[in-house]
Amino acid sequence: MKQDGEIRDSSNSFPLQTMDPEKPTVCIFGTGDFGRSLGLRLIQCGYSVVFGSRNPNSSNLVPKGAEILSHTEAAKKSSIVIIAIHREHYDYLTGFADGLKGKVLVDVSNNLKINQYPESNAEYLADLLPECNVVKAFNTVSAWALQSGTLDASRQVFMCGDDAKAKEEVMKIARSLGLMPVDQGSLLAAKEIENYPLQLFPMWRLPCYICAGFTLLIFLYCLVIEVFHPLATKREDASYLIVITIPNRVFPTVSLILLALCYLPGILAAVIQLYRGTKYSRFPDWLDQWMLCRKQLGLLGLAYAFLHTIYTLVMPIRYYVRWWSNHYVIAEAKGNTTYPFSNYYAWLSDSYVALGILGLFFYVLLGITSLPSVSNAVNWREFRFVQSKLGYLTVVLCTAHTLVYGGDRFIFGPFYRWYLPPSFVLSLIIPCALLVMKFILIVPCLDQRITKIRQGWERKSKTDNSDS
Ligand code: NAP
């Protein structure tokens, strides 16, 4: 049964809350997608909403429970006006500037391109209506998320404005809508906030470039030694290797390099801190950026490890592999020879596979704990244990997997075509360097010094003449 004061929107069977007399009336200019969605959400949260529109008679446009009036009439009803119209039409608002004097204007607008205009939309609005307090907010929330209630991914609402009181009022509204306001400072920050929804995976750009660079490099390297070399030296066409064999060399090689690259910046940071004798000086920008993208590097490496696993599992059904094993058996039959079972190779191949499986298992564990929903559920010590201790264990297992795979091929001449080492040798350079540096840094005297530095200890300068 409908309770007194309860409103139910016709388009949405969601029960609307009773109007809360404590909450201010909110005015929204524009009855488009965003204005309607925000209006509905406000009504659901107990606000009374009045729309300002060019067509005040089309009451079917707005959610049930909201009023629709002309812009001038609507503005009179509230001290907060949400401008849910596109920037291109802002000059239209100057027509009733008098009615907006002293009010808080909330600019929710977005652009189509990053830095589309010389000034932000919010600053442009503030210039057009200098007697209003403009607050930039809600632009990172979509109309669809507001309407469907699926705000989990975009609960943060970035805000900025020059008037602290006006900003606080808008923050209150955001909080009561179940959103998380994040104060970004003065209106100067509006441009940055307007660019947020237009950015395409900003944290992934550098890791993707690094991953693509290594992929291309290793692919070309394998192409030279596996396809061009037999073509040039034996006139043999091995181009079919491009489809599975070469990718299956590229994926593990790049995966191991990316895994090592996740831990290398930590080692470099420790070396820099040891050298400077303090943690209170900034790391170079490149190192800061590198540290920030470690999670993405690790996830890309994990994706490559998965591809390596799948490509390896299809080996037995490949024509080339079946042809070779048949050829081997026929050669044995024709020559009436049996190659003896080698315990050494049996151990080598089983160890190589076992290390690979364990390495993949821990790699997956690292990937899972880096997901926000999982990392939020563990405390700092648990997170560090997995990401650091188990992380290094993963590097050790994957490096050992590659070393055992290499076996005696490291020193076996025919594998060095044109004096170039096989790709697995390249994949070991960074992880081995990383592990050597790590082993040096865990030597007690260095480890204790780093721990002290990280707890705030500083080495006095030479002029102070009193080291430690
Ligand atoms: P929309 O559906 O096109 O609605 C815009 C509204 O502006 C219209 O319904 C109209 O309302 C009013 N309008 C149109 N032409 C006008 C003119 N010449 N002069 C004055 N008013 C005019 O757009 P929207 O998707 O709601 O977006 C509105 C604002 O919210 C934009 O700045 C957008 O960047 C921002 N935004 C949208 C979303 C989203 O998911 N849609 C998300 C974040 C931010 P009346 O007919 O009632 O006057």
At 467, the pLDDT band (50, 70, 90 cuts) reads very low
Q: Single out the residue in 149, 172, 198 at which a domain terminates.
A: 198
**Per-residue pLDDT at 406:** 87
- For residue 68, the ligand 1 atom closest to its alpha carbon is 47
Q: Single out the residue in 177, 198, 219 at which a domain terminates.
A: 198
pTM for this structure?
Answer: 0.77
**Per-residue pLDDT at 16:** 52
**pLDDT surpasses 80 at 99:** yes
E-strand stretches of 19-155: 26-29, 49-52, 67-69, 80-83, 104-107, 133-136
Q: Mean pLDDT score of the chain, rounded to an integer?
A: 90
Between CA 391 and CA 221 the distance in angstroms is 29
**Number of domain units in the chain:** 2
The region of weakest confidence among 55-64, 211-220, 351-360, 457-466 is: 457-466
Of 34, 112, 134, which is best to mutate to test ligand 1, by the most ligand atoms within 8 angstroms of its C-beta?
A: 34
For residues 81 and 51, the answer to whether their CB atoms sit within 8 Å is no
At 374, the pLDDT band (50, 70, 90 cuts) reads confident
**pLDDT surpasses 50 at 5:** no
**Per-residue pLDDT at 221:** 97
**Per-residue pLDDT at 3:** 41
pLDDT, tens only, 7-54 = 444 444 445 556 677 788 999 999 999 999 999 999 999 999 999 999
CA distances from 358 to 251, 363, 390, 395 (A): 17, 8, 11, 11
CA distances from 315 to 300, 339, 354, 358 (A): 23, 23, 17, 20
Residue 36 is part of which domain span?
26-198
pLDDT, tens only, 285-311 = 999 999 999 999 999 999 999 999 999
Q: Which residues contact 130 (CB under 8 A, 6 or more apart)?
A: none
Between CA 78 and CA 132 the distance in angstroms is 13
- Amino acid of residue 215: T
Q: Single out the residue in 198, 221, 250 at which a domain terminates.
A: 198
**Per-residue pLDDT at 413:** 64
Check whether residue 209 and residue 345 sit in a common domain. Answer: yes
Pocket residues: Cβ below 6 A from ligand 1: 30-35, 53-55, 84-86, 89, 92, 108-110, 139, 142-143
E-strand stretches of 6-60: 7-8, 15-16, 26-29, 49-52
SS3 state at 69: strand
Q: Is the dihedral of CA 409, 411, 416, 422 positive or negative?
A: positive
Between CA 411 and CA 52 the distance in angstroms is 80
Check whether residue 50 and residue 85 sit in a common domain. Answer: yes
**134 or 409, greater pLDDT:** 134
For residues 353-369, average pLDDT: 96
- For residue 109, the ligand 1 atom closest to its alpha carbon is 32
For residues 458-466, average pLDDT: 63
Distance 135 CA to ligand 1 centre (A): 17
Residue 256 sits in a domain of what CATH number?
1.20.120
SS3 state at 7: strand
Q: Which of 213, 200, 162 is nearest to 183 (CA)?
A: 162
**Per-residue pLDDT at 6:** 42
The region of weakest confidence among 10-24, 246-260, 446-460 is: 10-24
Query: Would 9 be classed as within a structural domain?
Result: no
Distance 91 CA to ligand 1 centre (A): 14
Check whether residue 143 and residue 167 sit in a common domain. Answer: yes
Distance 92 CA to ligand 1 centre (A): 13
- For residue 58, the ligand 1 atom closest to its alpha carbon is 47
Query: Would 410 be classed as within a structural domain?
Result: yes
**pLDDT surpasses 60 at 463:** no
Check whether residue 297 and residue 189 sit in a common domain. Answer: no
Query: Would 7 be classed as within a structural domain?
Result: no
